[in-house]
Chains A and B, each alone.
Chain A
């Protein structure tokens, strides 16, 4: 199944600022999404801040939770 294939893959969401990442973290925590704050991978951006890593299968949910609430820079796949 497609779901099994995605079980170990991650997506990340990048923000313009760490403030944005921490605002988003609060929202995801409230909705019970599993996530991890990680330093922004160098190949994705030169920012020295943090981004949020989540399981790929939650991507549409994460997008929905953050929509209109926090300004997102971009979504990427790890």
Chain B
């Protein structure tokens, strides 16, 4: 920040160009990670929520129809519910108790006025992976743009926008891409931007003679001074992912997830939610106990064992209704690439102690 604190793309001086190069290098690393041919198809945002808001609000007009699933986070559900009040038609496909989506149900829900299909790539409460390639196939065959919420998967699970037929890919920088908070992005497939209104308009350093927003990527969706400092960190995080290899990261996290699921399933009084199969989910594990509320479990894990978990509804009330854990929610434990088997073992033992104690008290 001290050496290149200039505004990228606003002038021709050396520091401005150097700041611009930081953005380009992060774009290139992300493009390689997601199999995107042209790095300029990626626009930077603050987080997956902003990316999803651009995709959802930019694509849908009153009278349009949108299909989504019952496993969505509020970053998808709330923008859609707000649009519903303005006359956008909404179909929410119910998923199974394990959080799984039947892609045929998506196809059956398609109408003449369907303008967008949006699904999560993996549930943020139970980790279950969605059949995105199958949904992508269906969406492309019907000529409907398909948007994926990759908050839980970008960097942790292989993503190829061409193979999965993704038109809009929303990701955050601060989870498995190992970037700082306040960074994220949206990939927009060529041609889709013609139908996608920007959320904000303003200065872009391009077409300065015009008082109209530019219509080309990425400037159409990148108004105002970007978070260059944050994106420098995001670029470094993505290069780390690429150096380790997503397949390698995935294999490690899958092993930790399997250990966590099996360990928790073996504790009397503990119920593990979701599909219970590490190969079909990301490194998230949600559980409940019959005698203790999620917030009590989380507090004991934190105070007595120094283990951080998140209790409650995880900003996904519809998803908790789907997997049968509403309204009290669950305790969610998440593993990452830096988590060790020893840490997982300690977490399982801690849950075992809490469960045994509450059972005795109960």
B218:A18 contact, CB within 8 angstroms: no
Contacts of A18 in B (CB 8 A): 8-10, 17, 20, 205-206
Contacts of B209 in A (CB 8 A): 45-47
A19:B12 contact, CB within 8 angstroms: no
Contacts of B8 in A (CB 8 A): 18
Main secondary structure of the interface of A (DSSP, over half): mixed
Is B142 in contact with chain A by the CB < 8 A criterion?
A: no
A48:B208 contact, CB within 8 angstroms: yes
Given contacts A16-B214, A17-B9, A18-B9, contact A23 B24 (CB under 8 A): yes
Contacts of A16 in B (CB 8 A): 206-207, 214, 216, 219
A47:B208 contact, CB within 8 angstroms: yes
Residue of B nearest to A40 (CB): B12
B21:A22 contact, CB within 8 angstroms: yes
B38 to chain A, nearest CB (A): 9
B208:A19 contact, CB within 8 angstroms: no
A23:B12 contact, CB within 8 angstroms: no
Kindly identify which residue among B17, B40, B206 contacts A47, using a CB–CB cutoff of 8 Å: B206
Residue of B nearest to A71 (CB): B216
Residue of A nearest to B207 (CB): A47
Residue of B nearest to A19 (CB): B40
Is A28 in contact with chain B by the CB < 8 A criterion?
A: no
Contacts of A11 in B (CB 8 A): none
Kindly identify which residue among B13, B207, B218 contacts A19, using a CB–CB cutoff of 8 Å: B218
Is B39 in contact with chain A by the CB < 8 A criterion?
A: yes
State how many residues of chain B have any CB contact under 8 Å with chain A: 25
State how many residues of chain A have any CB contact under 8 Å with chain B: 20
Is A37 in contact with chain B by the CB < 8 A criterion?
A: yes
Convert B294-337 into 0s and 1s, putting 1 for each residue whose CB lies closer than 8 angstroms to a CB of A: 00000000000000000000000000000000000000000000
B11:A39 contact, CB within 8 angstroms: yes
Contacts of A50 in B (CB 8 A): 11-12, 16-17
B115 to chain A, nearest CB (A): 27
Is B23 in contact with chain A by the CB < 8 A criterion?
A: yes
How far, in angstroms, from A71 to B16 measured CA to CA in the complex? 21
B216:A26 contact, CB within 8 angstroms: no
How far, in angstroms, from A71 to B217 measured CA to CA in the complex? 10
Convert A4-21 into 0s and 1s, putting 1 for each residue whose CB lies closer than 8 angstroms to a CB of B: 000000000000111111
Candidate in A19, A22, A48 with the most chain B CB atoms within 10 angstroms: A19
Contacts of A22 in B (CB 8 A): 17, 20-21, 24
Residues of chain A in range 39-53 having any CB-CB distance to chain B below 8 Å: 39-40, 45-50
Is B47 in contact with chain A by the CB < 8 A criterion?
A: no
Residue of B nearest to A39 (CB): B12
B204 to chain A, nearest CB (A): 7
Contacts of A46 in B (CB 8 A): 208-209
Is B27 in contact with chain A by the CB < 8 A criterion?
A: yes
B11:A48 contact, CB within 8 angstroms: yes
B24:A17 contact, CB within 8 angstroms: no
Convert B4-42 into 0s and 1s, putting 1 for each residue whose CB lies closer than 8 angstroms to a CB of A: 000011111100110011011001000000000001100
How far, in angstroms, from A26 to B25 measured CA to CA in the complex? 10
Residue of A nearest to B206 (CB): A17
Chain A residues with CB under 8 Å of chain B are: 16-23, 26, 37-40, 45-50, 71
Closest 4 CB pairs of A and B: A39-B12, A18-B9, A46-B209, A50-B12
Chain B residues with CB under 8 Å of chain A are: 8-13, 16-17, 20-21, 23-24, 27, 39-40, 204-209, 214, 216, 218-219
14 contacts between A and B (CB under 8 A): A16-B214, A17-B214, A17-B218, A18-B8, A18-B17, A19-B9, A19-B23, A19-B27, A38-B12, A39-B13, A45-B209, A46-B208, A48-B205, A49-B12
**Besides the known contacts A47-B206, A48-B206, 16 further A-B residue pairs in the complex with CB atoms under 8 A apart:** A16-B216, A17-B9, A17-B204, A17-B205, A18-B206, A19-B9, A19-B218, A19-B219, A20-B40, A21-B20, A46-B209, A48-B10, A49-B10, A50-B12, A50-B17, A71-B216
